[in-house]
Amino acid sequence: MPDSGGDRAQRAHIPTSGTRPGTDDATAVPHGDAGALSVDPAAPQITAPAGLPGTPGLPHAVGLPGPAAKATRRTGLLVTLVLGGLTALPPLSMDMYLPALPAVTDSLGAPAATIQLTLTACLAGMALGQLVVGPMSDRWGRRTPLLLGMVVYVLATAICALAPTAELLIGFRLLQGLAGAAGIVIARAVVRDLYDGVEMARFFSTLMLISGVAPVIAPVIGGQVMRFTDWRGIFVVLTAVGVALTLVVAKWLHETLPPADRHTGGVTDALRTMRGLLADRVFTGYMIAGGLAFAVLFAYISASPFVVQEIYGASPQTFSLLFGINSIGLIAVGQINGKLLVGRFRLDKVLGFGLAVILLAAVALLLMTTGVFGEVGLVPVAAGLFVLMSAMGLAMPNTNAQALMRTKHAAGSASALLGTSSFLIGAIASPLVGIAGEDTAVPMALVQVVCAVAAVGCFLLLCRPWQRAGRDADGL
């Protein structure tokens, strides 16, 4: 198929060293000291990325016998846990703090609306920080910006624990979010450095297993901390977690971006790279589709406490149970995606199926909440939410994987755009769920339908998966 203008623009602004001549970005071979694991589970060889600890200088695609293979698997598990911890840290920073909001309001003598800004500031910092850290990691490598971000995160969190006023707390929550964004954006970039194709999609599904647990258990942990101390103790715990992660990163996470593949320009070059990424129609399609799917998730998180408890009369315990079940569904389907579907079906097929299920579930919820089926109770609505949430396990990892496959040599900038767009689109969608007041769940379902329709539209119109199906030699 002839190149689109976006494809040409992407190659004009993004270095392409390390790719095989005549290959598409989506099927480029691994480069430098970072390789993909074998696509065939039965294959006798194990490709061990040399950027992992314990395998310095390991040749690309070397078969590892016996103890060496076990060591590589242990190393891969360690890196998975480290990257999962980095990805889980921002949700922990947000959600552990939720049970403490009333206590913070009383302690600092500030209005509730002012204390709510501490959440907004942290979320805004996470969104904007990715735009800064992503290009930095493309220029200076992954370790230096990550370690710098972690140190700043620890300092900002410690000061939050000591903040005497609401204004100071808001300021350092913003800094905490800006620094914590390093974990999100660089974790995705490291995955792109180390893996390619099917294995990258599988790794994202595994990462979801770890990071998906964080929003579920974070409020519980925060509530338990509040039993033994005040709200400042939550920030003390987060400071300790930050210190531990910083030490683990310093010891175990080696550099994964070779100097030859780094960008050497300044801010102008970073902006040019991002412009080239956005000019790539297919990358932009995956980015927006993923952001809109994330907005469906944000709408659920924002509205479900009110919908389940106030409209359908469930107790807080029932809501917590349903929230946990839905989260388990998302994680379980994510694992099915990584272990069973990826490698057997093209990623676009799996992604398209996931988006279609999200859309159907959202439409069903809209029909139920508008009374088309008459008065419905909590069970049908909870079932619709479960299906919708579970299908996220097919959409979220595969949009990230497909987008990053096109951006091997600008993975930091691409990861920044993916993360920032998701946060911003989700932040725009979230307030709309309560626009009609507290007596109806229709706005939640309507926002979800609109975002799901838009996600499917972006996937079909911009990504055009049928045009690339015949060119995917690796079965993606």
State mean pLDDT over 187-194. Answer: 86
Residues 6+ apart with CB under 8 A from 224: none
With contact defined as beta carbons under 8 Å apart, do 186 and 159 qualify?
no
Nearest residue to 210 (alpha-carbon basis) of 91, 97, 308, 309: 91
Residues 6+ apart with CB under 8 A from 243: 154
pLDDT > 90? residue 391? yes
pLDDT > 70? residue 108? yes
pLDDT > 70? residue 45? no
Number of separate helices (H) and strands (E) present in the chain: 17, 0
State mean pLDDT over 365-382. Answer: 89
**What local confidence, expressed as pLDDT, does residue 63 receive?**
43
**41 or 96, greater pLDDT:** 96
With contact defined as beta carbons under 8 Å apart, do 122 and 93 qualify?
yes
**Could you tell me the pLDDT band of residue 25, with boundaries at 50, 70 and 90?**
very low
Phi, psi of 342 (to 5 degrees): -65, 130
Tally the C-alpha atoms within 13 A of residue 40's C-alpha that lie toward its C-beta: 5
What is the C-alpha to C-alpha distance for residues 237 and 193, in angstroms, rounded to an integer?
31
Q: What percent of the chain has pLDDT over 90?
A: 27
With contact defined as beta carbons under 8 Å apart, do 15 and 6 qualify?
no
**What local confidence, expressed as pLDDT, does residue 179 receive?**
93
**What local confidence, expressed as pLDDT, does residue 308 receive?**
83
Structure tokens at 189: 């970039």
pTM value?
A: 0.69
**244 or 81, greater pLDDT:** 244
Q: CB atoms < 10 A from the CB of 344, how many?
A: 10
**What local confidence, expressed as pLDDT, does residue 265 receive?**
66
In tens, the pLDDT along 132-146 reads 888 888 888 889 999
Nearest residue to 208 (alpha-carbon basis) of 91, 96, 349: 91
State mean pLDDT over 336-356. Answer: 89
DSSP 99: G
Nearest residue to 458 (alpha-carbon basis) of 207, 337, 281: 281
State mean pLDDT over 438-452. Answer: 87
For residue 342, list its beta bridge partners: 345
Residues 6+ apart with CB under 8 A from 314: 308, 322, 378
What is the C-alpha to C-alpha distance for residues 190 and 86, in angstroms, rounded to an integer?
11
**Could you tell me the pLDDT band of residue 266, with boundaries at 50, 70 and 90?**
low
State mean pLDDT over 47-61. Answer: 38
Nearest residue to 423 (alpha-carbon basis) of 134, 5, 61, 99: 134
**205 or 292, greater pLDDT:** 292
With contact defined as beta carbons under 8 Å apart, do 193 and 33 qualify?
no
